[in-house]
A and B are shown apart, each in its own frame.
Chain A
């Protein structure tokens, strides 16, 4: 089930309600059970995500090197909170636990591309380039 949801999400970027209804019928699994799984795992999105996904790593190594500031800054620039999406569906901001690039913290990924040693100016530039 988890692999199925991940694959579907790979195509759709999120899991809409209709997909869950459809899955439930096809697999004869109650919707509640699918929702239980889908809501437990962070990687599965039950709400639409923006065209650009920004993930700020909040792992310990990034944390001690100032990841919180980067997250706050990105949030204030986009005018949304972490785990939210801008109303025009352009950006989603996420905090993630550890991207495993602890050497170059603070790290953020923009549409899957890694940026290491992120500064506030760097964040601003990245956001500007995407606009």
Chain B
């Protein structure tokens, strides 16, 4: 690799790379295998190895290019393999399918029907990505390149037009013009707060003091959200390019990329992208001959949810305990080492090159009145097509869940949707037609957060879910301020009592009181929003709380303290799996009459209601049943 010394050099390099790539691609097909964490969990590594072996065996090792790419988002159907130039999209590929793919699709150019996506409605098979409903209803401008790029290869990114926004900004825009462009695009922070990005940049640009810092926040702690991971793993250079442009705009010479330790692949790809950019001179001194100097350091997080908060994250970079500081002064004026610091979320940074290249007008033509652009959501939970979906702001939850997500498994009813992570809220089914943007979600008592959409069906208990979030936040509260630390603990105690059947009449009132106090008096956003799950569930699912408190009943049959398990003699085949797995030894075999039907019974006095028998009972049998609000039927004759 040699240094790219000027804007002209970069364009020349891009031309060379493209013509080399296109010449090769016009002759031979190439294969993209998703190597994101999701597909890897489903065995993508073995698929990749199988392809490598098979291609070598057939002497195609040098001709057919095999790319380990980033995540295209359709994690539910992984491992995903796309064969170009046709763009044939195969799902759920097993290493055993590989020889057939090479033989049929690569060599003979034929399709393998069973690996194609089957439309559950029409029953037809979709060959290309753009025909599959999951992708068809999306507007993919941020994650569309993931499947085409090897994230560990900067040349791939450059061939796809990468770093052209940087060269444009450096060669034909003043820093103020860059700030103005971001301002007029209407981009708002994708990390959760939704603060207008341009204003943040403006204030960091105007702030006195040097050096100034720019920071990428990839401490994606919200359980259920993984778009930042997918971007950082799949297209790290797009984030880096945004960061360099931001540094130029505010006059910073040093930046940090903060990645949480739970994302080892994101750490690795960020590290590789930084060193490659440095080799090309896209980081370092006199970038593209513009006289602008800038470099980046990588900082690994060490597992603390609260460290994703901007001031806490800056403390962590300084090597201190990642606790938040009061924000009397914005971090854009006094942040890292008390210097002006511009911190944005991964997805926010990844939007910057698009805005510079396509223009603020293009960007603001997408989305709603006050929320512009697209947003990547992680659609997870009880939904058929889980994965990452990128849609214009303002699409309704119903469209996202049903058109893209393909509805709820097992024909069940949507109970609600949890958005915004642990500090968000639960939106009930009746509000599914709400357009999703920053303001609408807040109005419903939830929030955008980093963009997780967790679909809940009738088997999810609202009270138990609220308890889960409070428990989560209780563990993650740093303990610095009293309202958050003690408030969460009190709420946890009350909710634990309710789910155990020890709820009291005044509990709801007390919960509300604590919630309002925490909202008013906590130091950082974690504490101020921590009560959202409780408040929103009380608001929309009050009858469920009352069922727990007054009738000792869990309508969703979830809360262990309020349900009992029993085995239906008519269905039980006495296979004994439950008996072997019962940790309490509460299950034994019973016989009706002599030599007649045998079946298993649960001794209710020993049962700890762990539910293991319910889960291990073979799905063909399903003899273990649950009941709540009344005792289990007598079983022994």
Contact = CB atoms under 8 A, between A and B. Distances in A.
B and A form one assembly: yes
Interface residues of A, number: 43
B286 to A, nearest CB: 29
B616 A43 contact: no
A4 B387 CA distance: 35
B263 A104 contact: no
Given A44-B302, A59-B223, A69 B41 contact: no
A76 B454 contact: no
B299 A3 contact: yes
A41 B612 contact: no
B612 A120 contact: yes
B226 A121 contact: no
A91 B302 CA distance: 21
Interface string B10-46: 0000000000000000000000000001101110000
A112 interface: yes
Nearest to B379: A103
A50 interface: no
B224 A115 contact: no
A105 to B, nearest CB: 7
A57 B621 CA distance: 29
B221 to A, nearest CB: 7
A11 B261 CA distance: 15
Contacts, number: 154
Nearest to B227: A100
Contacts of A2: 299-300, 302, 316, 319
A93 interface: no
B41 A116 contact: yes
Contacts of A58: 223, 472
Contacts of A23: none
A19 interface: no
B146 to A, nearest CB: 15
A64 B305 contact: no
Contact of B386 (A6, A100, A102): A102
B89 interface: no
B322 A40 contact: yes
B77 to A, nearest CB: 9
A73 B583 CA distance: 9
B175 interface: no
Given A6-B261, A121-B616, A61 B38 contact: no
B320 A101 contact: no
Contacts of A72: 610, 612
Contacts of B263: 100
Contact of B303 (A1, A41, A63, A73): A41
Interface string B578-601: 000101000000000000000000
A103 B456 CA distance: 14
B304 interface: yes
Nearest to B418: A60
Contacts of B319: 1-3, 37
Interface string B255-278: 000000111100000000000000
A98 B378 CA distance: 13
B223 A64 contact: no
A96 interface: yes
Contacts of B221: 97-98
B281 interface: no
A51 to B, nearest CB: 19
Contact of A6 (B300, B380, B382, B616): B300
Interface centre among B381, B460, B581 (most CB of A within 10 A): B381
B413 to A, nearest CB: 15
A60 B382 CA distance: 11
B76 interface: yes
A115 to B, nearest CB: 7
Nearest to A5: B302
Most buried by B among A61, A101, A103, A105: A103
B68 interface: no
A42 interface: yes
Given A3-B300, A98-B222, A100-B263, A63 B468 contact: yes
21 contacts: A40-B323, A43-B261, A43-B302, A60-B422, A61-B224, A61-B380, A64-B454, A65-B381, A69-B612, A72-B612, A96-B262, A98-B223, A98-B224, A98-B262, A100-B225, A101-B75, A101-B226, A102-B226, A103-B38, A104-B78, A114-B37
Interface of A: 1-3, 5-6, 36-37, 40-44, 58-66, 69, 72-73, 76, 96-105, 107, 112, 114-116, 119-121
